[in-house]
Structure 1
Amino acid sequence: MPPRFALPLAAALLTLTAAAGCDVAVDDGSGSPGTNSTSDSGSSGGQSAGDANAQLDKLIVAKESSMSGYSREKFPHWRSAGSNCDTRDKVLQRDGTKVKLSGCNVVAGTWTSFYDGDKITDPSKVDIDHMVPLANAWRSGAAKWDTDKRGDFANDLNDPQLIAVSASSNRSKGDQDPSTWKPELSSSWCEYAKDWISVKTTWKLTVTDKEKTALDDMLRKC
Structure 2
Amino acid sequence: MKSYTLLPGFLLLALTAAIPVPEPTPPNIPSSSSASTLLTNLIVAPQGPQDGYSRDLFPHWVTIQGECNTRETVLKRDGVSVQTSSTCAATSGSWYSPYDGKTWTLASDLDIDHVVPLSNAWKSGAAAWTTDRRRQFANDLANPQLIAVTDELNQAKGDQGPEEWQPPRTSYRCTYARMWIKVKSAYALTVTASEKSSLNGMLATC
The TM-score range, normalised by the shorter chain, is 0.7 to 0.9
Structure holding more strand per residue: 2
**Matches for 1:125-144 after TM superposition, within 5 Å:** 125-144=109-128
Counterparts of 2:66 and 2:80, CA distance in 1: 21
Report percent identity of matched pairs. 48
Moved over 6 A (4+): none
Corresponding residue of 1:214: 198
**Matches for 1:89-104 after TM superposition, within 5 Å:** 89-103=72-86, 104=88
CA contact (8 A) 2:42 2:188 kept: yes
Counterparts of 1:93 and 1:55, CA distance in 2: 30
1:201 partnered with 2:192: no
Unmatched 5+ stretches in structure 1: 1-28, 37-42
| TM-score normalised by the chain length of structure 1 | 0.81
Note the alpha carbon deviations across 1:113-141, whole angstroms, 9 max, x for none.
11111111101221000000000000000
1:58 partnered with 2:41: yes
Corresponding residue of 1:4: none
1:185 partnered with 2:169: yes
**Matches for 1:44-55 after TM superposition, within 5 Å:** 44=29, 47-55=30-38
Note the alpha carbon deviations across 1:175-197, whole angstroms, 9 max, x for none.
00000100000000100000000
Counterparts of 1:53 and 1:30, CA distance in 2: 30
Counterparts of 2:26 and 2:111, CA distance in 1: 14
Report the aligned-residue RMSD.
1.2
Note the alpha carbon deviations across 1:32-73, whole angstroms, 9 max, x for none.
11224xxxxxx11xx321111110000000000000000000
1:78 partnered with 2:61: yes
My pick for the range that moved more, 190-199 or 119-128, is 119-128
CA contact (8 A) 1:35 1:91 kept: no
CA contact (8 A) 2:38 2:181 kept: yes
Corresponding residue of 2:141: 157
Corresponding residue of 1:147: 131
CA contact (8 A) 2:21 2:96 kept: no
Counterparts of 1:120 and 1:60, CA distance in 2: 38
| TM-score normalised by the chain length of structure 2 | 0.87
Counterparts of 1:96 and 1:82, CA distance in 2: 18
Counterparts of 2:72 and 2:41, CA distance in 1: 34
Unmatched 5+ stretches in structure 2: 1-19
CA contact (8 A) 1:110 1:122 kept: yes
Say how many residue pairs are matched: 186
Larger radius of gyration: 2
Counterparts of 1:125 and 1:153, CA distance in 2: 24
Counterparts of 1:170 and 1:213, CA distance in 2: 23
My pick for the range that moved more, 48-57 or 64-73, is 48-57
Corresponding residue of 2:15: none
Counterparts of 2:196 and 2:143, CA distance in 1: 20
CA contact (8 A) 2:58 2:138 kept: yes
DSSP-derived class of the 1:34 partner? coil
